[in-house]
Amino acid sequence: MKVNAFSQKLCVVSGPLMALTFLIAFLIMGFVPPPDPRLTGEEIVQLFTEDQGRIRAGGVLMIFGSALLFPWISVISVQLRRVEGGQHTPMASTQLASGALGAFLFLTPMIVLEAMAYKPERLDPQVAEAMYYLAWLFFVGTPVFAVLQNLSIAVAILQDTSPNPVFPRWAGYLNLYIALLFVPGVAVFFFDSGPFAWRGMFPWWIPLSFFGMWMAAMATLLWRAIDAQQPAAPEAAPATVGSPDPASPPVTVP
């Protein structure tokens, strides 16, 4: 069986490239950290009017960058199937599905922000306020798919008891820890200031920082797992009586 190492490594590269694309996009938009949740409708309209070009450019870049998540989650599932073995691989399937749905957590809010920046001078302040809340609450406040994705990776890795595991055991605990760090994101529905607001320490800065560390660690481990993946050697055909052997003449069976 041929191991498609090259295509798998292309998928691995897409993950860090996606993270870099997101960082650049947010810097272009001026959304590091995100704008204040307490802005009035008039202030939101003014923000999108003054920074219209930056917001549109960064949003388009992020829309393209969100597509890079799909090859990334695909190669993780390929390696998780090696961990689980056989045809029944629930954790690999869960990771793939939750990761794919998680991509829309990046895509959908960007489309909302792009709609606001399309013709901001025609935005009603109350409508702008509602769309503004929708975009950022959607983006920061729905970490459920990221939590499920990391938990499925952790379960798969921690149940691998083979002599030569695909991933080291500490990677399972890392994914479990990252899953827990994403949970405080739901607090943004209850706070508009302080460490639990959508631009605060727990929903924004801590998950964002550790997401970058997780991405770097998983990319390194995936690369090593692909290098260690070897095609199965074909089994030698059993010798038959009378088969030609240069070292001895064939045996005649009466």
pLDDT > 70 in the chain, percent: 89
Q: Looking at the domain assignment, is residue 236 inside a domain? A: no
pLDDT of residue 104: 84
Range of the domain at 29: 5-228
Q: Looking at the domain assignment, is residue 242 inside a domain? A: no
Report d(CA 122, CA 118) in Å as an integer.
9
Side-chain-facing half-sphere of 204: CA atoms under 13 Å: 24
pTM of the model: 0.83
Q: Looking at the domain assignment, is residue 174 inside a domain? A: yes
Q: Looking at the domain assignment, is residue 28 inside a domain? A: yes
Residue with tokens 């901001």: 120
CB 155 within 8 A of CB 67: no
pLDDT of residue 152: 95
Report d(CA 47, CA 35) in Å as an integer.
9
Domain count, the chain: 1
Question: In this structure, how many other beta carbons lie within 10 angstroms of the beta carbon of residue 16?
Answer: 17
Q: Which H or E run contains 170? A: helix 169-182
Q: Looking at the domain assignment, is residue 220 inside a domain? A: yes
Report d(CA 56, CA 72) in Å as an integer.
26
Report d(CA 23, CA 146) in Å as an integer.
18
Q: Looking at the domain assignment, is residue 240 inside a domain? A: no
For the ranges 21-25, 100-104, 201-205, the lowest mean pLDDT is seen at 100-104
Side-chain-facing half-sphere of 119: CA atoms under 13 Å: 3
Q: Looking at the domain assignment, is residue 59 inside a domain? A: yes
pLDDT grade, residue 161 (50/70/90)?
confident
Max distance between CA atoms of the chain, in angstroms, equals 102
Output DSSP code: residue 253.
P
Could you please report the per-residue DSSP string of 50-110?
Answer: HTHHHHHHHHHHHHHHHTTHHHHHHHHHHHHHHHH-SS--HHHHHHHHHHHHHHHHHHHHH
Report d(CA 22, CA 102) in Å as an integer.
14
pLDDT grade, residue 174 (50/70/90)?
very high
79-100 per-position pLDDT tens digit: 999 998 877 889 999 999 999 9
Report d(CA 96, CA 241) in Å as an integer.
51
Q: Looking at the domain assignment, is residue 64 inside a domain? A: yes
